[in-house]
Amino acid sequence: MIILPAIDLMGGQVVRLRQGNASEKTVYSDDPVAFAKKWEEEGGDWLHIVDLDAAFSGVSHNLDSVKKITGAISIPCELGGGMRNEEAIQNALDAGVARIVIGTRACESMDFVERMVKKFGSEKIAVGIDAKNGIVSVKGWTESSNIRATDLAKRAEKAGVGTIIYTDIATDGMLSGPNFAEMENMLNLLDCQLIASGGVSKAEDVFRLGKLENLYGVIIGKALYDETFELSDLKKSAIPKQEFPLWPEGAPGAIGSEPQDIPTLTPFLPEPGTATGAVLVIFPGGGYEMLAPHEGKGYADFFVKHGITCFVLKYRLGSHGYRHPRMLEDAARAVRLVRSKASDWKIDPQLIGIIGSSAGGHLASTLATHFDGGNPGSADLIERQSSRPDAVILCYAVISHGEHGHIGSMENLLGKNPTQELKDSLSNELQVTSQTPPCFVWNTWEDTCVKVENSLLFAAALRKCGVRFDLHVYEKGGHGIGLSKGLTPGSLHPWAEDCIFWLNAQGFIKSNTP
C-alpha cells in the first residue's frame, strides 16, 4: 500500500478544510514546495495535490505552484480540482503531473472520462469520488449529485480508469478514523486500483487500512499537518503488506528470473494493538516439490489471532531445478531479514521462531541445526544477522535420510544419488547440539508417509544434548493434516492448542491475547 501525503492549495497557500468547507480553513504555509520536499524526505510514495480554487470555481490559480512542486521533487504527483476539460488536463500534465483526478466532470459525463482515458492512457487518469452517506458530492463538495458512489465507481472502472480515489466527506479533516466498512465495500466491487482518503487520525488507522486486501494506497492530510504522527515513523515501522523478495537484486544461485526463482516472504499481521512482538517464519511442506497453502497461509491465519506476526516463506524447490543448499539459504535469509528489521517493524529480535511441516519441517530442522551467527564484515546488513531461530515447531517433519526417511523429499533436495556423507549431514537427528533452539515436535501414529520415528529420533537427540522440547505423538490424523484437515470441519487438531501453550511458555504470547 502506497502512502500519499496531501497538499491542498488555495491562493498559493497550503491549507486544510474541515469537511470541505472553505469557511473552515486552516493555513499551514505560504511555501508549498517546502512541504512537498518534506513529505518526500519522510518517505511519501506519491504526492496528492488538490487545487481547491479550481475545485470551487472551475478555474485554476495554482498551476505555477504545481509546476514548482513537480520540478522540486522526484516522487510522482497526482492533481485534482477543476479537471473538467481536456485543456485543463493537458496543462496539468505539461506541468509535470503524473496522474489527473477527475471529479465533478465524471458525474456529468462518463463519456468525457472515457475519451480522456483513450487519449492519455488509463495510468494517467483517475476518478475522484467524494461521498457523504454514500452519495457523491461535486464542485468542491458544495452540491449533492444524487448519484450513488458505488454506481459511479463501477461506471468509472468500465470507462477504463486505472485508479479510483474514494473520499468519505464525513470523516475528512475530522481525525475521526476512516470509514473502513465503505472502503471494504468498494474493494469488493472493483478490480482497478483504489486509494482511500479521509479520516486518518493515527498510525493505527493506516495499519488497519493496510490489512484491507488489494487497497492500493491511502491519502493522509490533516493528521500529518497537525503532527498526530510522523510520516517517517510510519514508513519505517510499516511491515510490507504484500509479498516481497528476500534478495531484491536476485537470489544467489538463481537459474532464472521467473517467480519460482525468486524466494519471497508474505506477511500476515495481527490486529492493531494485539501484536506481542513475536514472529513465526513459516515453511510450508510439499516434498521440496510444491508448497502446500494450508501449511502456509492456513497456519499464519491461526497464529496471528494470538498476536504473532507471521511470514510465509516461498523457498526454491527441487521441482524447479534447485538443490541443497539453496533451500537452506532461503530459510536462513528469511530469519536474518526479519531480525534486521526488528526495530523498524517493532518486533522482538529474540522472539523469532520458525515452523515447518513435512519437507518444510525438514527445512526448519535443518536451519535449527545448521544456523550461523552472521557475517559481521558483510556489506549486506542483513547478512550480518544471526540465522538462529529462537523457537522451532516441527509438524510431521521429515528429519532423517536414513531408513525412516522420505525418498521423494530427499531426491528433490539432494538429487538421485547423493553421497552418504551428504545424506548424513542433512539427517538432522545427527546434527543436534546443545545450541539447537527449543523445539515443539509432533506427529501421528497413523502417518504412514513420514513415519513417527523421524520425530522420535529428533526428540531423543534433543534430550541427549540437553535441549528443551515438547514432544507430542497423537494416534489419529494422517500425513499433511495441517490444523484440521481430515477432521471435523472447522475443528482444530489438538496440536494447535498444545502449541499455543508451549509458545506461551517461550514468551511468544501475552496473557491477554486469545
Q: How large is the average pLDDT for residues 377-405?
A: 95
What pLDDT is attached to residue 514? 46
Q: State yes or no: pLDDT of 426 exceeds 60.
A: yes
What pLDDT is attached to residue 22? 67
Q: Could you give phi then psi for residue 12, rounded to 5 degrees?
A: 80, 0
Q: State yes or no: pLDDT of 293 exceeds 80.
A: yes
Q: State yes or no: pLDDT of 129 exceeds 70.
A: yes
Determine the 3-state secondary structure of 435 from DSSP: coil
The single-letter code of the amino acid at 331 is: A
CB 45, CB 232: distance < 8 Å:
no
Determine the 3-state secondary structure of 374 from DSSP: coil
- How many C-beta neighbours within 10 Å does residue 16 have? 21
- More confident of the two residues 227 and 121: 121
Residues 6+ away with beta carbon under 8 Å from 138: 103, 104, 107, 108, 130, 144, 145
pLDDT category of residue 513 using cuts at 50, 70 and 90:
very low
Q: What is d(CA 18, CA 24) in angstroms, rounded to the nearest whole number?
A: 6
- From first CA to last CA, the distance across the chain in angstroms is 28
Q: How large is the average pLDDT for residues 44-72?
A: 90
Q: State yes or no: pLDDT of 131 exceeds 70.
A: yes
pLDDT category of residue 343 using cuts at 50, 70 and 90:
confident
In the chain, where the domains are located: 2-237, 255-505
SS3 of the chain: helix, strand, coil, percent, to 5: 35, 20, 45
pLDDT category of residue 173 using cuts at 50, 70 and 90:
very low
Q: State yes or no: pLDDT of 18 exceeds 80.
A: no
What fold does the segment set 2-237 form as a domain? TIM Barrel (3.20.20)
Q: How large is the average pLDDT for residues 360-389?
A: 96
Q: Just list the catalytic residues.
A: 8, 130
Q: What is the pTM of this model?
A: 0.61
Of the ranges 9-13, 251-255, 257-261, which one carries the lowest mean pLDDT score? 9-13
For domain 255-505, say whether CATH 3.40.50.1000 is its number: no
Q: How far is CA 164 from the centre of its chain?
A: 21
Above pLDDT 70, what percent of the chain? 93
* 404-414 tens-digit pLDDT: 889 999 999 99
- In this structure, the strands spanning 99-102 and 77-80 are parallel
Give 209-268 as a 3 state SS string. Answer: HHCCCCCCEEEECHHHHCCCCCHHHHHHHCCCCCCEECCCCCCCCCCCCCHHHCCEEEEE
Cβ-defined contacts of 141-144 (< 8 Å, 24+)? 141/19, 141/20, 141/21, 141/169, 142/20, 142/56
